[in-house]
Amino acid sequence: MNPELEAFLPLIPRVELTDPVAARANYAKAAAARPAPDLADLEVEDRMVPADPDVVVRIYRPRQAQGAIVWLHGGGFVMGDLDTEHLWAARLADGSGAVVISVGYRRAPEHRFPAALDDVYAVLSWADEHAAELGIDAGRIAVGGHSAGGGLAAAVALRA
């Protein structure tokens, strides 16, 4: 490990994933302690994307947005959801000027691979097919995420 980064290890909370329900509750508690995002310049809407099963998304729409980012939360494929990602997705939409489509993909261990990837691909395909309805340019749709979401973004880009 890079010695400069090693100094930060004691600051990173240890995550115990043997009890996914407790891990999710702790993750949600930490997210709830963050300041609420400023939504004054954003329209925020929850929707269901038709798939098998349907996938819940939260859409953050800044004024005069053209492109979009299909955004994927982190959490080790076990934790995280639309609510824990709310602050980051809102900041991303506000800072980038792009529509952010935050995806509530299915999580492990209840839903094994490739469930999360299938959900993300369904949302990416839906965003492309419904670009006009969403007010975005279908040629300007990106995928992104952090941690597990970054891995899913890379995988869905390859699949697409």
Q: Taking residues 71-77, report their average pLDDT.
A: 95
Locus of tokens 């798939």: 51
Q: Assess whether pLDDT exceeds 90 at residue 66.
A: no
Sheet holding 141-145, edge to edge: 42-49, 55-62, 99-104, 68-72, 141-145
| pLDDT tens for each residue of 107-136 | 999 999 999 999 999 999 999 999 999 999
Q: Which residues contact 117 (CB under 8 A, 6 or more apart)?
A: 152, 155, 156, 159
Q: Which residues contact 74 (CB under 8 A, 6 or more apart)?
A: 80, 145, 146, 147, 148, 149, 150
pLDDT of res. 107: 97
| pLDDT tens for each residue of 12-56 | 777 788 899 999 998 888 888 888 888 888 999 999 999 999 999
Half-sphere exposure of 145 (CA within 13 A, CB side): 31
| pLDDT tens for each residue of 76-117 | 999 999 999 999 999 999 999 999 999 999 999 999 999 999
Kindly report the pTM of this predicted structure. 0.90
pLDDT of res. 141: 97
Q: Taking residues 132-149, report their average pLDDT.
A: 94
- List the structure tokens of 40: 């004054």
